[in-house]
Amino acid sequence: MRWYHSLSLRLLFLFWVLLFAVASSGYLLALWFSKPIAPSPVPEAVQSSLAPLLSDVNTFRSLTPGRLLAGDYRVAASLAPSGQERLQLDRSLSASHRRLLLSQLEADKPQQIPIGNRMLIGPFKLDGYSLLVTRPITAEEREQQVVSEQQTQRVQTLALLIGSLAIAILLGAWLVMPLRRLTHATREIAKGSEKPELKRLPKRNDELGELARALATTAHDLAVSRDAQRRLLSDVSHELRSPLARMQVALMLSQDDDDGTDREQHLGQLGRDLERLSTIIERILSLSRLENGLVNLQTEAVDVRELVSQLVKDLGYVDPQHGQRLQVHDSDDWPVIDSDPELLRLVLENLIRNALQYTDDAIEISCQALPESYTVFVRDHGQGVPEDQLEQLFTPFYRADPSRNHKAGVGLGMALSLRAAAVLGGYVDARNHPDGGLEVAVTLTRST
Amino acid sequence: MSKLLLVDDDAELSSMLEQILTKEGFQLTLAADGEAGLERALSGSYDLILLDVMLPGIDGFQLLQRLRQQARNTPVLMLTARGDDDDRVAGLELGADDYLPKPFYPKELVARVKALLRRTPHTSVRPEKSEYAGFVIDPSQNEARCDDTQLDLTPTEFDILRTLVRAHGEVVSKDALSVAALGRSLAPFDRSLDVHISNIRKKLPTDPERIQTVRGRGYRIIQFA
């Protein structure tokens, strides 16, 4: 976001513009509606009382601003056709009414206009000379002026009221409407909408646009995680129901088996499914513990080669054929690292078991140590996995082989390895080895 | 002897179910994946198909859809290990006759199979034509018409509509309909009958609301102007 997209700056600018607009509209409306103080023709009486003074050229020329005439008249300005001081203005008047004085001098015929508490009269012209005079304003004229001013004030008040209303409406449209839309969108998200209706809000460049975009992302993330949870629940339920279904049928068969010939077989089925059920439940719990950070790490110095050898020995003890298929690359540079041996064993055991279950040939376990990290590879010589399904290997209950081969695991091993490695501060990834077979790599950083 | 087809990839379960159903006097054919299941379902003449939802290749729903597209109205009983109700009802919407969630008591499975099979002779008991409000049901021809348009109904839908037409506008309770069409009472939260009714409504040429829901009591057919 650039500095000029900032909402505070925009608000400041908006307020400024609006206030300026209201003030100037008030001023303009006042000018428009108030009766302008228009010049009026000079009454005959004034003309005649001044006539004696203004008819003589010499007298006329000698009249300079400030000079008092008969009957409280005072000279305000004089304009000579030539000379050094062609234009002379009354100082006190020219300070505030210079423009008016000048325009009055240019007028075609004498007229009068109130300025302050005096009435400006003129121009009187004689022999190329022009002259303006002032006189005190009469009480009647004064009253007229007051009425006119009051009227101006009323118009100004009205204009301010209308203007502030306009501000409120504009602010509403500009600021409050987006907020209401955001509130509405938040409610939609709470109800489970993946794409709340935000209209054009996310396209805004300011803070509100940022909020709208964050909200849209959150809604999407929530929907994704909710879908994942729902799928997991559905999968868990499916995985638990299948062995239960078999157990129920096996139980009934063994009950109906009057002569007891197949009892052994039915009990064997029951036992297998019971074991499977408890494995699934135990693994789901482990997965949940790892995901929710409920595992206490017991870190100690771990000789990785020692750990792998022990693991191979244990697996071989359970099934000697499995033991023969496991080949550990002893010549590699196996590190001794600070880690949790139990968790590390869990990561590797699941990967190795997976390889044993899904392939029939040798499985190579090797290590590559780097200054910053080390990687343990578990590589099988099976058919590999289609490239587009490599990612999914780590999804709970995903099985690369879609037919339900019940000798294979419960479908949680890879997911468990991935989570456990993450808890240890590392990661697991899978790739198809260039020479065939699947290669799963566990990379952990060396703790310093 | 009734011929059944069981499509399920759980080999252990399938072989145990085979023992049970054979003992009950059914002739069972097994198929372990969707393709094989569909092929057998289309080629052979089965009295009932037991269909698992989760199958490698084409799944149970797709299999059912293709089966019904080929206008095969063989009764289908879905077996599903999925938990949620949506999944259960989805099968009925695609034209399954009934469903049984896993795990189930084998005796319950046998009872459902028998109930679905029992309908055929049950139908022949009273083969007389019945007519009401534009509907004509001819059980002897296995034919249902609405305003002279032939309706393509599954056996379950046929039985439900026949029961409603015979009632001549009287309300028929959901339970009675379930007994007539599925051979069993409704379980709590069982939406299967509602799904079948909704399927029939979709197949009517006009005015689906002529099969009226009477809240809390059941369904009836009303005269539509």
DSSP 8-state secondary structure symbol assigned to residue A391:
G
Q: Token pair for residue A429?
A: 């990834």
What is the CB neighbour count within 10 angstroms for residue B132?
16
Q: What is the mean pLDDT of residues A30-36?
A: 65
Supply the DSSP string of chain B, one letter for each residue. --EEEEE-S-HHHHHHHHHHHHHTT-EEEEE-SHHHHHHHHHHS--SEEEEES--SSS-HHHHHHHHHHTT----EEEEE---SHHHHHHHHHTT-SEEEESS--HHHHHHHHHHHHHHHHHHHHS---EEETTEEEETTTTEEEETTEEE---HHHHHHHHHHHHTTT--EEHHHHHHHHHSSPPPTT--HHHHHHHHHHHHSSS-GGGEEEETTTEEEE----
Q: Is the pLDDT of residue B120 over 70?
A: no
Indicate the SS3 state at residue A6: coil
* Structure-token pair, residue B210: 């002529």
Is the confidence at residue A47, as pLDDT, over 80? no
What is the third-level CATH fold of A207-291? Helix Hairpins (1.10.287)
Selected residue with higher pLDDT from A189 and A21: A189
Q: Is the pLDDT score of A50 beyond 80? A: no
What is the per-residue pLDDT for A378?
93
Check residues A9 and A244 and name the one with the higher pLDDT. Answer: A244
Q: Write down which residue in B120, B153, B185 finishes a domain.
A: B120
Which residues does chain A have within 8 Å of residue B52's beta carbon, measured at their own beta carbons? none
CB B59 within 8 Å of CB A403: no
Question: What are the start and end residues of each CATH 3.30.565.10 domain in chain A?
Answer: 300-445
Residue % of chain A over a pLDDT of 70? 95
Task: Read off the pLDDT of each residue in A348-370 and give the average, rounded to a whole number.
Answer: 89
Per-residue pLDDT at A414: 87
Does B48 share its domain with B89? yes
Q: Which of A25-29, A214-218, A306-310, A443-447 has the lowest mean pLDDT?
A: A25-29
Interchain pair B56, A249: CB under 8 A: no
Architecture of domain A40-137: 2-Layer Sandwich (3.30)
- Whether B103 sits inside 8 A of A233 (CB atoms) is no
- Determine the pLDDT at residue B123: 46
Instruction: Enumerate the residues of chain B whose CB falls inside 8 A of the CB of residue A233.
Output: 83
Position A352 scores a pLDDT of 92
8 A C-beta contact, residue B199 and residue B157 = yes
Task: Please report residues of A whose CB lies closer than 8 A to that of B107.
Answer: 252
Return the SS3 of A301: strand
**Residue A329 C-alpha, separation from nearest chain B C-alpha, in angstroms:** 38
Let me know whether B16 and B113 are in one domain.
yes
Q: With beta carbons less than 8 A apart as the criterion, state whether A78 and A126 touch.
A: no
8 Å CB contact between B186 and B193: yes
How many domains are there within chain B? 2
Q: Which residue of B has its CA nearest to A242?
A: B81
Rounded distance between C-alpha atoms, residue A312 and residue A298, angstroms: 23
Which is more confidently placed, B77 or A295?
Answer: B77
Distance from CA of B125 to the nearest CA of A (A): 35
pLDDT digits (tens, 9 = 90+) for A53-66: 777 777 777 777 87
B101 and B145 part of one domain = no
Query: Do B70 and B90 reside in the same domain of the chain?
Result: yes
Query: Is B11 close to A406, i.e. CB distance below 8 A?
Result: yes
Residues B91 and B10 in one domain: yes
Please name the residue of chain A whose CA is at the shortest distance from the CA of residue B17: A249
Where are the domain boundaries for CATH 3.30.450 in chain A?
A: 40-137
A245/B12 touch (CB, cutoff 8 Å), yes or no: no
pLDDT of residue A168: 79
- Per-residue pLDDT band for B50 (boundaries 50, 70, 90) equals very high
CB-CB neighbors (< 8 A) of A404 in chain B:
9-10, 54, 56
Overall fold of domain A300-445? Heat Shock Protein 90 (3.30.565)
What's the pLDDT score for residue A406? 46
- Interface probe for B, chosen from A248, A257, A262, A272 (most Cβ of B below 10 Å), is A248
- Number of Cβ within 10 Å of residue A65's Cβ equals 22
Where a domain ends, among B120, B136, B162? Answer: B120
Q: Which residues of A, range 188-247, sit inside 8 Å of B by Cβ?
A: 233-234, 237-238, 241-242, 244-247
Quote the mean pLDDT of chain A: 83
CB within 8 Å: B81 and A242: yes
More confident call, B151 vs A260? B151
Same domain, B175 and B106: no
* Domain boundary, last residue among B76, B93, B120: B120
Contact A425, A445 (CB under 8 A): yes
- Tokens describing residue B53: 């939802």
Same structural domain, B108 and B169: no
Q: Let me know whether B47 and B87 are in one domain.
A: yes
Q: Are residues B25 and B43 in the same domain?
A: yes
Residue A48 has pLDDT above 50, yes or no: yes
Structure confidence at residue A200 as a pLDDT band (50, 70, 90): confident
Q: Give the type of residue at B82.
A: R
pLDDT score for B197: 92
Residue in B17, B19, B84, B100 to test binding to A, most A beta-carbons within 10 Å: B19
State residue A173's pLDDT score.
80
pLDDT of A22 strictly over 90: no
User: Residue for token digits 């001013």?
Assistant: A149
What is the DSSP code string of A411-427? S-HHHHHHHHHHHTTEE
Interchain pair A249, B106: CB under 8 A: yes
Question: Are both B116 and B151 inside the same structural domain?
Answer: no
Position B32 scores a pLDDT of 87
What CATH number did the domain enclosing B191 receive? 1.10.10.10
Q: How confident is the model at residue A203 (pLDDT cuts 50, 70, 90)?
A: confident
pLDDT tens-digit series, residues B206-217: 888 889 999 888
B102 and A242 within 8 Å at the Cβ level: the answer is yes
Per residue in B13-23, pLDDT (tens digit) is: 999 999 899 98
Query: Quick check: helix, strand or coil at residue A41?
Result: strand
B67–chain A nearest CA distance, Å: 22
Mean pLDDT of A315-342: 87
Considering the domain architecture, whether residues B29 and B55 belong to the same structural domain is answered as yes
**pLDDT tens digits for B121-164?**
444 455 678 888 889 988 888 888 888 888 888 888 888 998 89
The alpha-carbon gap from A432 to the nearest alpha carbon of chain B, in Å, equals 23
Cβ atoms A329, A366 nearer than 8 A? yes
Same domain, B12 and B83: yes
**In chain A, which residues have their Cβ closer than 8 Å to the Cβ of B33?**
403
Contact B83 A244 (CB under 8 A): no
pLDDT band at A430 (very low <50, low <70, confident <90, very high): very high
Instruction: Establish, for the pair of chains A and B, how many residue pairs have beta carbons separated by less than 8 Å.
Output: 68
Task: Please provide the average confidence, as pLDDT, over all residues in chain B.
Answer: 85
Distance CA B59, CA B62 (A): 5
pLDDT of the residue at B188: 78
A447 pLDDT band (50/70/90 cuts)? low
| Residues of chain B positioned with their CB less than 8 A from the CB of A280 | none
Contact criterion met (CB below 8 Å) for A444 and A424:
yes
pLDDT of B121 reads 47
Please write the tens of the pLDDT for every residue from A77-133: 888 877 777 788 877 777 777 888 888 888 888 888 887 778 888 788 877 788 888
Domain range enclosing B35: 3-120
CATH number for the domain spanning B39: value is 3.40.50.2300
- Of A37 and B174, which is predicted with more confidence? B174
Residue B54's Cβ-count burial label (10 Å; 0-12, 13-18, 19+) is buried
Nearest-Å Rg of the Cα atoms of chain A is: 49
Please report residues of A whose CB lies closer than 8 A to that of B101: 241
Nearest-by-CA chain B residue for A256 = B20
* pLDDT for position A367: 92
